[in-house]
Structure 1
Amino acid sequence: MFEHEGVRIHYVTAGTSPVQGGGDRTIVLIHGWPQTWWEWRHIIEPLRSDGWFVVAPDVRGAGGSSKPAGGYDKQTMAGDIRALLRHLGVQKPITIVSHDLGMLVGYGYACLWPDEVARLMVSEAPIPGTAGYESAVATSKYSENRIWHFHMHGAADNAAEMLIEGHEFPYLRSFYLRLSANPDAISIADAERYVADYTQPGAMRAGIELFRAFEKDAEDNRRILAEKGKLTMPVLGLGGTASFFLPIAEKMLSEVAENVTVRAVEDSGHWMAEEQPEKLLERLRDWFQETGG
């Protein structure tokens, strides 16, 4: 556990940190909603075996981390991750692997501190402030069947929390099932673990705040793009072949990055690290080799 500006960040590591005499290869795994670091359980050990120092935090509001009243804009959350890495003694540029709303945190980190990010993998979310986001949210093909909850969760006055209260397990599990090409990938036991995390005091509200911050995220993203220009480090967009992300990925990522590669994870829906961990690892390893190891 690490505390930054009054917010406790729970994290899991694997491998040897730089201060313990490890190498310079640090990979940060940033989970999405409604998940925790547990999302990455199948790929942490293989990455460690490949020689990475693996850092998998629970973002603020999730899992074992604090549930503060605010700070759910993704640039603030990126600052939490950066402070954690400084605490762990990481100084060299990192590789970020990020999923779902964690992708927005990873993107925020790369925008704010581009010299500290060697490469960025993003997956399975639209970036607020881009035309790709506006298209995805506005188009019924996506919003009715895939990301309708963006609208509900963005409502003010705690409407989403009131509707979900008392129905947390069936509500959250519906996402694991509906957005999956392999419904058994997130087992009942895994779903119960996630739901236990998201029914802690303040946890559901914190998770919903991630969505309510989208308007500020859009403003921040547009501003930093205007100030600094597009990202120049290698950016990999990964999406499941049964998910919504691939059709919008290349055009959207090209709005914000110069060096973009988009690839598919076959036979997967939204939850790639759990549905197809071996194929995800294969895509990552290929990309690592292509971009300098």
Structure 2
Amino acid sequence: MRPPAGPGPAEIRVPGPWHHRAVSANGVRLHVAELGSGPLVVLLHGFPEFWWAWRHQLTGLAAAGFRVAAADLRGYGDSDKPPRGYDLWTLAGDVAGLVRALGERSAHVVGHGWGGLIGWTVATLHPRLVASLVVLDAPHPLAVRSRIMRDPRGQGRATLGYAAGFQVPRWPERSLTADGGARVERIMRRWSGPTWPGTPEFAEAAHRNRRAIQVPGTAHCALEYHRWAARSQVRAEGRRFAAAMADPVRVPVLRVHGEVDPCILLATAEASARWAGDGPLRVLPGIGHFPHEEDPAATTALLAEFLGTDRPPSS
């Protein structure tokens, strides 16, 4: 007897003022939700979320005069879930291809968590396609690696405490999807600040993310990101990636970080300064790992202010 099917596209393509479409980029089909007109802003979600995490920024930035596209990353939501390609080289290529497929010469790239790591990578490897970079609770990939080694009881414990368990086969996939995705909600609660988990907004976000992780193939693909990150550290590929990422980003950078994020520590965000040029770090008091959802008004205001200071003409 076949297991019941997981949520379908209709449940992922949540209706709203935005419109949904599929875009071919870098050999895969990526689902995006779009709203507004003006300079392009590409929003890249983190783990364990999907495009819907950016619902507040979609409307807020569109109202501020931007064309906003929130993408489901490779392996998530209604995007393709190929068996490989979950390394930062390929994921950056997805974003570069997405910008071109959306018909623009460049875009402002905004990423949270894993989406931020991809943002750092695309800004370094494809700088002509990135007008500016905003990262939320996403230090530079080399800063994360350095802090894990230098601070094993701090960032090392915070990162390895969950990522190490993702390295074994099959069991982590079952743990993410069991009991209707209950572990996703536990992760969200653990990584959030003290206020958000008691709100109706959190309840809705947890419900939607629990459903999204049950889309067939999503749990496995999401874990492949973490598996590549760990395994690349002991492979030649990891050394090549570190060498390619060594130089500072050449576009304007804004870093936004939740003050009490227990997953990515503030000290690790501060350690990214050497790759961010003179780009500022904005710390949101009392906020955890999800500033765009925990304090959407403050986060959207920071984004609109920063992006509005250096708008390239729309192509």
Shift of 1:231: 1.2
Q: Distance in 1 between matches of 2:64 and 2:188?
A: 29
Which of the residues 68, 81, 85 maps onto 2:99?
Answer: 85
Deviation at 1:59, TM superposition (A): 0.4
Aligned counterpart, 1:101: 114
Q: Which amino acid aligns with 2:208?
A: R
Shift, 1:235, TM fit? 1.3
Q: 1:149 to 1:168 in 2, by over 3 A?
A: farther
- CA deviation profile, 1:207-233 (whole Å, cap 9, x unmatched): 00010111448445312135xx32121
Q: 2:145 matched to 1:133? A: yes
> Deviation digits for residues 9-65 of structure 1, max 9, x if unmatched?
10011113xxxxxx4x11111100110110111121110011101011100000111
Deviation of 1:176 (Å): 1.2
Question: Matches of 1:136 and 1:167 in 2, distance apart?
Answer: 32
How far apart in 2 are the matches of 1:97 and 1:81? 11
- For residues 135-176 of structure 1, give each alpha carbon's deviation from its aligned partner in whole angstroms, at most 9, with x where no partner exists: 2475223344566212112x1433422444524522110111
What SS class does the counterpart of residue 118 from structure 1 fall into?
strand
1:8 aligns with 2:21: no
SS of the equivalent of 1:89 reads: coil
CA contact (8 A) 2:259 2:283 kept: yes
Instruction: For 2:102, give the aligned amino acid.
Output: L
Q: Which amino acid aligns with 1:81?
A: V
> Are residue 176 (structure 1) and residue 188 (structure 2) matched?
yes
Distance change >3 Å, CA 193–CA 211, structure 1 → 2? same
SS in 2 for 1:62: coil
Q: Within 1, Cα distance between the matches of 2:265 and 2:158? A: 13
- Corresponding residue for residue 279 of structure 1: 298
Distance in 1 between residues matched to 2:33 and 2:284, nearest whole Å: 25
Aligned-partner SS, 2:198: coil
Q: CA deviation at 1:6?
A: 4.6
Shift in CA distance, 278/218, structure 1 to aligned 2, threshold 3 Å = farther
RMSD: 2.3
CA displacement at 1:279 relative to structure 2:
0.8
Structure-to-structure mapping, 1:68-83, within 5 angstroms:
68-83=82-97
Structure 1 alignment gaps of length 5 or more: 17-22
Q: Which of 220, 239, 248 is the matching residue for 2:268?
A: 248
- What amino acid is aligned across from residue 184 of structure 2 in structure 1? L
- Looking at structure 1, the residues matched to 258 and 47 of structure 2 have their Cα atoms a distance apart, in angstroms, of 16
| Correspondence for 1:52 | 66
Change (3 A) 1:253 1:70: farther
Q: Contact 2:96 / 2:126 at 8 angstroms: preserved in 1?
A: no
CA distance in 1, matches of 2:310, 2:253: 10
TM-score for both structures, normalised by structure 1: 0.86
Post-superposition Cα deviations, 1:158-203, rounded to whole Å, max 9, x if no partner, equal 3422444524522110111111112135533322211211111111
Contact kept, 8 Å, 2:184 with 2:210, in 1: the verdict is yes
Structure 2 gap ranges (5+): 1-21
Mapped to 2, the partners of 1:131 and 1:262 lie a distance apart of 14
1:224 aligned residue (238, 244, 251)? 244
Structure 1 residue 205 displacement after superposition: 0.3
* Counterpart residue identity of residue 3, structure 1: S
TM-score (norm 2): 0.81
Question: Following the alignment from structure 1 to structure 2, what is the Cα–Cα distance between the partners of residues 94 and 13?
Answer: 14
Task: Tell which deviates more after alignment, 160-169 or 235-244.
Answer: 160-169
Aligned in 2, Cα 1:121/1:190: closer, same or farther, shift over 3 Å?
A: same
User: What SS does structure 2 have at the residue aligned with 1:166?
Assistant: helix
Q: Would you say 1:157 and 2:134 are equivalent positions?
A: no
CA distance in 2: counterparts of 1:219 and 1:69, whole angstroms: 23
Distance 1:132 1:265 in 2: 20
Q: What pairs with 1:34-49 in structure 2 (closer than 5 Å)?
A: 34-49=48-63
Report the CA distance shift for 1:47/1:220 in structure 2 as closer, same or farther (over 3 A). Answer: farther
Alignment partners' CA distance in 2, 1:6 and 1:286: 34
SS in 1 for 2:289: coil
Q: Pick from 187, 192, 199: which aligns with 2:207?
A: 192
State the one-letter code of the partner of 2:260: A
Identical counterparts, % of pairs:
29
Q: Among 223, 233, 243, which residue is 2:251 paired with?
A: 233
